[in-house]
């Protein structure tokens, strides 16, 4: 559980025209806000990727990584098929530095691949000796989402390849049985060529509070969270202004994390850990979402948490805009035209800076296998 007295004093300062201070944010809060740009210190904190925490790495991979096994026709091989195991982390091109930092954490194994049509960048590891380093990390720093079950299957397939049994019919069929339960399963081509394939049972994922850590949450939220600013207009309002106060326009902020419905218990545990938020289930879309929309929870829990355990990469900039908007609303400055204009500007910056979503990697899309 997130300890409530962990952040009694938090200071944000810069060389800009003003500074705002959060003083004793759990008891008698006073806030001084400004529209200032992120300070040099804040930017350096976000860009300091030289010492990524192992649990942060695992959280990020739980969000955006995948374990892939491809089986392709190839007449040069005795069985007519070639098998490759691959670990990959895919992020938006704006997060290339973060991808490079993850590769650096793994001693620069693998390579960086740019996929132009998807505007994304990938860290890929395919060599058997390099994959051993990947597996060692996750053996020591276990995945928490249902991706853990994919990791177990991937590790078993890796062992088959390591022993060269993938070059036998029995070994290849064993891999196919496991691959059928991995990610999206088998392609139609593989199903036609290997009709006797029988999918194996996936490992059970235990979503226990004891596996959560603040560093893991920071990594996971770097990949999966969303910092949002909303401006709503009352249907009865003409959008005018009255004595300098905003009339009919309302500003709010929201923190959210979406995940496959299979991981609903994980989101519920994160909500308990942070002591805030509700988890919504959307069964028609097989999606669940942790939502924190109460301003007091955002100011006293979400912001202090991410000040200590940083969001990394391009999303950190959105977090800073989100934080500024939260303080403006807390001070009720959004009730003035000037204050609401500031929030509208921050909202525009978030929408402009937010990269378009990538294809979800909870279950990696099938390739030409």
In a domain, 29, yes or no: no
Task: Convert the pLDDT of each residue in 129-146 to its tens digit.
Answer: 999 999 999 999 999 999
Q: Are strands 81-92 and 120-125 parallel, antiparallel or unpaired?
A: antiparallel
How confident is the model at residue 350, as a pLDDT? 87
In a domain, 41, yes or no: no
In a domain, 12, yes or no: no
> Which of residues 208 and 46 earns the better pLDDT score?
208
Does position 35 have pLDDT exceeding 80, yes or no?
no
Q: What percent of the chain has pLDDT over 70?
A: 76
Which region among 63-77, 171-185, 197-211 has the lowest average model confidence (pLDDT)?
Answer: 197-211
How confident is the model at residue 307, as a pLDDT? 98
Question: How many separate domains does the chain show?
Answer: 2
User: How remote is the C-alpha of 69 from its chain's centroid?
Assistant: 23
Residues 140 and 179 in one domain: yes
What would the mean pLDDT of 236-251 be, rounded to a whole number?
54
In a domain, 232, yes or no: yes
Q: Assess contact for 86 and 364: CB atoms under 8 A.
A: no
Residues 250 and 307 in one domain: yes
User: What b/e readout covers 233-265, taking b as 16+ CB neighbours within 10 angstroms?
Assistant: eeeeeeeeeeeeebbebebbbbbbbbbbebbbe
Does position 18 have pLDDT exceeding 60, yes or no?
no
pLDDT tier at 161, thresholds 50, 70, 90: very high
How confident is the model at residue 48, as a pLDDT? 64
Residues 213 and 188 in one domain: no
Residues 249 and 189 in one domain: no
Predicted TM-score of the model (pTM): 0.80
Residue 126 domain boundaries: 54-193
Residues 142 and 213 in one domain: no
Sign of the torsion formed by the C-alpha atoms of 128, 134, 140 and 143: negative
The dihedral region occupied by 231, where left means phi > 0, alpha psi between -120 and 50, and beta the remainder, is beta
Which region among 6-15, 60-69, 273-282, 303-312 has the lowest average model confidence (pLDDT)?
Answer: 6-15
How confident is the model at residue 284, as a pLDDT? 84
What would the mean pLDDT of 44-56 be, rounded to a whole number?
74
What would the mean pLDDT of 331-344 be, rounded to a whole number?
90
Residues 184 and 224 in one domain: no
In a domain, 156, yes or no: yes
Domain boundary residue, one of 137, 158, 193: 193
> Which of residues 298 and 333 earns the better pLDDT score?
298
How is residue 44 annotated by DSSP?
H
List the Cα angle 151/65/85 in 5-degree steps: 55
User: What b/e readout covers 310-323, taking b as 16+ CB neighbours within 10 angstroms?
Assistant: bbbbbbbbbbbbbb
Read off the CATH number of the domain in which 144 is found. 3.10.28.10
What would the mean pLDDT of 270-286 be, rounded to a whole number?
93
List the Cα angle 141/145/147 in 5-degree steps: 85
The strand ranges marked E within the chain are: 9-12, 20-23, 65-73, 81-92, 111-115, 120-125, 225-233, 241-242, 245-246, 249-260, 278-282, 287-292
Q: What is the mean pLDDT of the chain?
A: 83
Which region among 21-25, 44-48, 75-79, 94-98 has the lowest average model confidence (pLDDT)?
Answer: 21-25
pLDDT tier at 354, thresholds 50, 70, 90: low
How confident is the model at residue 115, as a pLDDT? 66
How is residue 300 annotated by DSSP?
I
Residue 139: how many other CB atoms lie within 10 Å:
10
- Rounded CA-CA distance 209/297 in Å is 20
Residues 163 and 225 in one domain: no
Does position 126 have pLDDT exceeding 60, yes or no?
yes
Task: Convert the pLDDT of each residue in 107-116 to its tens digit.
Answer: 999 999 876 6
Residues 261 and 151 in one domain: no
């Amino acid at each position: 559980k997130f300890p409530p007295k962990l952040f009694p004093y938090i200071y944000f300062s810069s060389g800009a025209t003003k500074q705002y201070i959060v003083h004793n944010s759990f008891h008698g809060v006073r806030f001084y806000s400004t529209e200032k740009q992120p300070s040099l210190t804040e930017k350096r904190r976000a860009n300091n990727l030289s010492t990524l925490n192992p649990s942060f790495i695992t959280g990020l991979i739980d969000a955006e990584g995948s374990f892939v096994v491809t089986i392709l026709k190839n007449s040069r091989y005795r069985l007519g098929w070639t098998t490759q195991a691959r670990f990959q982390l895919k992020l938006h091109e704006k997060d290339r530095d973060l991808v490079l930092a993850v590769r650096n954490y793994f001693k620069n194994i693998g390579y960086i691949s740019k996929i132009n049509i998807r505007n994304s960048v990938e860290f890929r590891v395919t060599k058997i000796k390099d994959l051993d380093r990947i597996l060692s990390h996750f053996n020591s720093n276990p995945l928490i989402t249902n991706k853990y079950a994919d990791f177990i299957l991937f590790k078993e397939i890796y062992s088959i390849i390591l022993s060269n049994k993938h070059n036998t019919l029995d070994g290849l069929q064993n891999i196919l049985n496991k691959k059928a339960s991995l990610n999206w399963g088998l392609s139609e081509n593989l199903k036609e060529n290997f009709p006797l394939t029988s999918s194996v049972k996936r490992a059970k994922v235990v979503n226990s509070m004891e596996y959560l850590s603040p560093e893991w949450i920071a990594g996971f939220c770097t990949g999966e969270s969303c910092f949002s600013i909303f401006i709503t207009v009352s249907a009865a309002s003409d959008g005018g202004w009255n004595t300098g106060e905003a009339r009919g326009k309302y500003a709010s902020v929201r923190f959210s994390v979406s995940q496959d419905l299979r991981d609903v218990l994980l989101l519920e545990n994160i909500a308990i850990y942070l002591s805030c938020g509700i988890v919504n289930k959307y069964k028609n879309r097989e999606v669940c979402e942790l939502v924190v929309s109460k301003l007091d929870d955002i100011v006293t829990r979400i912001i202090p948490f991410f000040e200590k355990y940083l969001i990394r990469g391009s999303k950190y900039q959105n977090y800073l805009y989100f934080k500024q908007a939260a303080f403006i609303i807390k001070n009720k400055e959004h009730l003035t035209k000037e204050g609401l204009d500031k929030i509208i500007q921050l909202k525009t910056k978030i929408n402009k800076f937010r990269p378009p979503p990538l294809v979800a990697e909870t279950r990696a899309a099938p390739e030409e296998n």
